[in-house]
Amino acid sequence: MLAIYAPYVEQTAITFEYDVPTEEEFRGRIEKVQRTYPWLVAEDGGKVVGYAYASAFKERAAYQWAVETSIYVSMGQKRQGIGRLLHESLETALRKQGILNMNACISYIDPEDEYLTLDSVRFHERLGYQQVAHFHQCGLKFGRWYDMIWMEKLIGRHQ
């Protein structure tokens, strides 16, 4: 999974991390997530081709019905439906946990550049997400300022 994530760190503005985490740090992230939320892996012929997970939207108790989601697919296997399958599985698991809101924090620039496209925005729109916030020039990577948007999908009834 770290091999999937590393090119996103090194070659894109999809994540605002500057340095690829160590295996130990990455393993720690997985363990932390799995204490409360699902961490799913997609395989093709025994090879990991993508992963998805949810994490706390905010740490305060009142936010316990909302999560932040993340999906990463191997660079060479994008646009093959892997991300959609991961998201559908993640949504199913989160519904079973009683989660009501799925939130996605997405790097944004218009027009697109060589480090960032609008593919993630379009992907989330196709899955039923709506943009709920736009933060301007809040992330600096590759000597350029990038915006951040939040998209939300309500997956349960708020009673």
Calculate the CA 25 to chain-centre distance.
18
Is there a contact between 145 and 139 (Cβ–Cβ < 8 Å)? yes
Q: Which helix (H) or strand (E) holds 107?
A: strand 101-108
Residue 31, pLDDT > 90, answer yes
Residue 14, pLDDT > 90, answer yes
The per-residue pLDDT for 58 is 95
The per-residue pLDDT for 37 is 97
2-154 classified as CATH 3.40.630.30? yes
- Average pLDDT (57-72) is 97
Q: To 10 degrees, what angle do helices 2-11 and 23-34 make? A: 110
The per-residue pLDDT for 132 is 98
Burial-class residue 93 by CB neighbours within 10 Å (0-12, 13-18, 19+).
middle
